[in-house]
């Protein structure tokens, strides 16, 4: 990509989008086109088409999506499938109509079948039943991948698709009820530490295994793919190693400095038993992640403390000393 080309990052305020913007700026790209939801509603087809007709965009990275953890997916499935279908359909179609040179669409490792063979190869997509708890989101995102591939085949549109592993880092959402597992645990351990709670109870058994990629590494991989990959096949993006959720909780507890114990609510779902992706296709292009999990957790917690931590509870007034002079 030419450093002076106009690049539209859809979803630039989110976890992935903000990291991509940082990476683009640090790499020397000078003409970034950014719009928040109040300026451009990506679910509005007419507004999106008018935007592309007006702005003469050369490259597009779609990091805009409605996302959430297990609870959010269970409660708001209609919102997830509707909004994501609208966003990606409007942007992909308008980008093609406007003559965009290249587009990157981001999927997710949760689109793969629940019991896919590990590590998961890209060919496993649609080879078996998906995890029910995030089916509306997964169906929408798979439709986006299929759309990119169909537009490439029928119209010659250079649209590529990446499948990130679980992402975390600065800009994440840390609400205990609606966030993904890692930022949710950071918030819960922090709150418990501040409140002096003796135990933090985690959802499920703690045995499912996940791989986690620091979001700045994901942004670096996105630029790498935009500059070096033009294939139809989707590309897995991750570190190539995973960790049990229970072990991750231990690492987060240590990072936060929480002195209490861990409990498990076995009535809550685990989700996928394991999600480790085969990243050999990406690694073969010369890309590797730079930030390991311990360093990434420390950076994320430091960002949380500065930007997202709730105010510390007011301390009670110190007790007045009891005078024994009259005794």
Active site residues: 137
Nearest residue to 148 (alpha-carbon basis) of 39, 50, 233: 233
- Tell me: is residue 289 an annotated ligand-binding position: no
- Tell me: is residue 107 an annotated ligand-binding position: yes
- Tell me: is residue 16 an annotated ligand-binding position: yes
- Tell me: is residue 262 an annotated ligand-binding position: no
- Tell me: is residue 5 an annotated ligand-binding position: no
Which structure tokens are listed for 299?
A: 């950076």
- Tell me: is residue 66 an annotated ligand-binding position: no
Which residues face 10 on adjacent strands?
62
- Tell me: is residue 235 an annotated ligand-binding position: no
- Tell me: is residue 238 an annotated ligand-binding position: no
- Tell me: is residue 141 an annotated ligand-binding position: yes
- Tell me: is residue 305 an annotated ligand-binding position: no
- Tell me: is residue 42 an annotated ligand-binding position: no
Which structure tokens are listed for 86?
A: 């609208």
- Tell me: is residue 113 an annotated ligand-binding position: no
User: Strand locations in the chain, DSSP E?
Assistant: 6-10, 31-33, 59-62, 102-106, 159-164, 166-168, 199-203, 209-210, 212-214, 235-237, 243-244, 261-265, 274-275
Q: What's phi and psi for 66, nearest 5 deg?
A: -90, 120
User: Strand locations in 116-177, DSSP E?
Assistant: 159-164, 166-168
Which structure tokens are listed for 168?
A: 């975390």
- Tell me: is residue 111 an annotated ligand-binding position: no
- Tell me: is residue 256 an annotated ligand-binding position: no
Nearest residue to 18 (alpha-carbon basis) of 131, 170, 153: 170
Helix (H), strand (E), coil (C) string for 39-64: CCCCCCHHHHHHHHHHHCCCEEEECC
- Tell me: is residue 22 an annotated ligand-binding position: no
What DSSP letter does each residue of 246-268 carry, written as one string?
HHHHHHHHHHHT--SEEEEETTS
Rounded CA-CA distance 140/103 in Å is 18
Residue numbers in the known binding site for substrate are 188, 203, 210, 270
Residue numbers in the known binding site are 11-17, 106-109, 141, 164-167, 180, 188, 203, 210, 270
Residue numbers in the known binding site for NADP(+) are 11-17, 106-109, 141, 164-167, 180
């Amino acid at each position: 990509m030419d450093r002076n080309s106009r690049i539209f990052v859809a979803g630039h305020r989110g976890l992935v989008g903000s990291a991509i913007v940082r990476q683009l700026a640090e790499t020397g790209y000078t003409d970034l086109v950014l719009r928040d939801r109040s300026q451009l509603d990506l679910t509005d087809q007419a507004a999106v088409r008018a935007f592309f007709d007006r702005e003469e965009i050369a490259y597009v990275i779609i990091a805009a999506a409605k996302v959430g953890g297990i609870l959010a997916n269970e409660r708001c499935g209609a919102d997830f499938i509707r909004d994501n279908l609208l966003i990606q359909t409007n942007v992909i179609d308008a980008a093609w109509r406007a003559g965009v040179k290249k587009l990157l669409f981001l999927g997710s490792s949760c689109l793969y079948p629940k019991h896919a063979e590990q590590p998961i190869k890209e060919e496993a997509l649609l080879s078996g039943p998906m995890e029910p708890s995030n089916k509306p989101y997964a169906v929408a995102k798979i439709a986006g991948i299929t759309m990119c591939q169909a537009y490439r085949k029928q119209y010659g549109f250079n649209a590529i698709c990446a499948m990130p592993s679980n992402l975390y880092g600065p800009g994440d959402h840390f609400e205990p009820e609606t966030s993904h597992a890692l930022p949710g645990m950071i918030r819960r351990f922090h709150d418990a530490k501040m409140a002096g709670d003796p135990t933090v109870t985690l959802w499920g058994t703690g045995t499912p295994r996940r791989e986690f990629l620091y979001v700045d590494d994901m942004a670096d991989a996105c630029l790498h793919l935009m500059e070096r990959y033009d294939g139809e096949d989707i590309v897995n993006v991750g570190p190539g190693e995973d960790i049990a959720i229970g072990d991750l909780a231990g690492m987060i507890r240590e990072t936060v400095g929480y002195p209490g114990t861990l409990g498990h609510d076995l009535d809550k779902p685990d989700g996928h038993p394991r999600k480790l992706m085969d990243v050999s296709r990406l690694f073969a292009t010369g890309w590797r992640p730079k930030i390991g999990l311990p360093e990434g957790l420390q950076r994320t917690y430091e960002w949380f403390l500065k930007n997202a931590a709730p105010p510390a509870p007011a301390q009670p007034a110190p007790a007045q000393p009891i005078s024994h002079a009259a005794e």
